[in-house]
Amino acid sequence: MMKYKEIGFKLTPQRLAILDYLEGNTAHPSAEEIDRALSEKFPTMSLATVYNTLETLRQKGLVQELSIDPDKKRFDPNIRPHNHLMCIDCRRIIDVHTNFDLSLNDRDKANFIVLGHHVEFYGRCPECRKAAEGRA
C-alpha cells in the first residue's frame, strides 16, 4: 500500500499501528472501528489520533474516504480506481473491480473536465438475505 518513510509525518507507535491495520484491509473500516481494534494494544490512543492520521493519509492520497455509508465515514487503503457495493442491512462494503464506460455529454459536463468517477451499488448480502427469509 504505502512506503511508511514516504508519508511525511512522524511515525509514532500509534500511527504505525494504524498504518499496519490499514495495510491490505478490505473491510473499509471507520475511524471508530480502527480505534476499537487498536484500543487493547494502545489504551491511551485517542479517537482524535485515528481521525487525524486518516485525514493526513487522505490528504496525501494514501487512503480514500468513502461516502457510501450514510451513517459514518469509511476508509479504503486501496487507492486504485474501483467501485463499491454495500449491504443496506449489515453495512458490509465490498470492492467492485468492473470498469464502467461512463461518459457525459457536453451539456451535462457544463465545461467541466472530468477526472474520474465512482459507482456505488446497494443491495443485500447473502447472509442478510438469509436472515430476512428466516424472519418471514
- Predicted confidence (pLDDT) per residue in 82-119, tens digit: 999 999 999 999 999 998 888 899 999 999 998 888 89
pLDDT of residue 1: 40
pTM for the model: 0.84
pLDDT of residue 55: 95
Residue type, position 100, single letter: F
Instruction: Write the burial class of residue 93 (CB in 10 Å: 0-12 exposed, 13-18 middle, 19+ buried).
Output: buried
Residues 97 and 68: their CA atoms lie apart, in Å, by: 16
CATH, domain range 1-79? 1.10.10.10
Superfamily (CATH) of domain 81-136 = Ferric-uptake regulator, C-terminal dimerisarion domain (3.30.1490.190)
d(CA 67, CA 73): 6
The answer to whether 125 touches 90, Cβ cutoff 8 Å, is: yes
Domain edges within the chain:
1-79, 81-136
